[in-house]
Amino acid sequence: MTEKIKIGVIGCGVGRNWVVGATRCEDTTAWAVADLDRQLAQQIAAENEVPRVYSDYRELLEDDRIDAVGIATAPDIRKPMVVDALKAGKHVLVQKPHGCNAEEVREINLVSVESEKTLVYSYFMRHQQENKKNRTIIAQGKIGHVYHTRVHYHCRERGTDYEVPPGREWLYRWGKKGGALGQHGSHYLDLAWFLMGCPTPEWAYAVSHSAFPSTFNLGRHSEDYLSFLVGFVGGMTIQMDTSAVIPTWADRAWDLSLRVLGTEGTIEQQSTAQGSGTRRLLGSIYYLY
């Protein structure tokens, strides 16, 4: 019998879901957890029968029995953890956004190549059955040659009068998370790219602004609105419009649509509800010209 892959999870907030996943999979086991909140780490370990608990992530990385780690800490402290894990000889799954800026992402990717270890970003939507089915349909040419994908994603992250919810200030600080795109929109950008077959990017153009710069005292804060166009080899493009601002009087706090355009048809997915925290697009509509 093949020995199970031993997983260590750093950060027990979002990471608790990864612990559960490692426990349930046939070929993995949750071997260790680490969190500065020792009580939380012990709780998650007890709930999932995890044998080892650490407070310092570096102690977890020194555990030679661990094959791979999941890093689910806050974005502004992830980069050194990812780099340390790769250099410690571990395969790495890292929560999105995997860096606070492009330079951090380039550095992480370079270390991954040098370490010859697998680095995976947690863009899980491409692994959902509906999305895998749509990728197959597109790859088989059933909507013709794909040339453009449009993504519209708005979510309300703020409470009444756009006040920052308690304990979530870091979502709006520049260099900590990255506005609507960094919060959830990056999932849909990745999904659009995946559905199109992950073409090689050639250029990009974007505009952004902060709609409420004086609403809260956070210093420089991330954008409230971002619109961009990305061009790829073969003339394909992705257009995305994303915002963290939906008026509180609106009848929903989630507005999402994704449409893949081909020369012979389109596939459209949409949702007006977040739904059980899964970031799931609801169903698919197919149009043939």
Note the pLDDT tens digit of each residue in 61-115: 999 999 999 999 988 888 999 999 999 999 999 998 777 778 888 999 999 999 9
Residue 212 confidence (pLDDT) above 90? no
Domain C-terminal end among 65, 95, 122: 122
Residues 153 and 234 occupy one common structural domain:
yes
Residue 289's pLDDT is 78
pTM over 0.75: yes
Tokens 């609801």 identify what position? 282
Q: Which of 76, 101, 122 is the last residue of a domain?
A: 122
Asked if the model's pLDDT at residue 217 lies above 70, the reply is no
What total number of domains does the chain contain?
2
Residues 67 and 11 in one domain: yes
Mark whether 274 and 167 lie in a shared domain: yes
Are residues 238 and 182 located together in one domain of the fold? yes
- Residue in the structure block whose two tokens are 């994303």: 242
| Same domain membership, residue 276 and residue 135 | yes
Rounded Cα–Cα distance for residues 184 and 246 (Å): 15
Distance, in Å, from the CA atom of 134 to the CA atom of 141, rounded to the nearest integer, reads 11
In tens, the pLDDT along 260-276 reads 999 999 999 987 665 44
Parent domain of 168: 125-288
In 90-196, beta strands by DSSP E: 91-94, 119-121, 146-155
Residue 73 and residue 11 in one domain: yes
- Domain containing residue 68: CATH number: 3.40.50.720
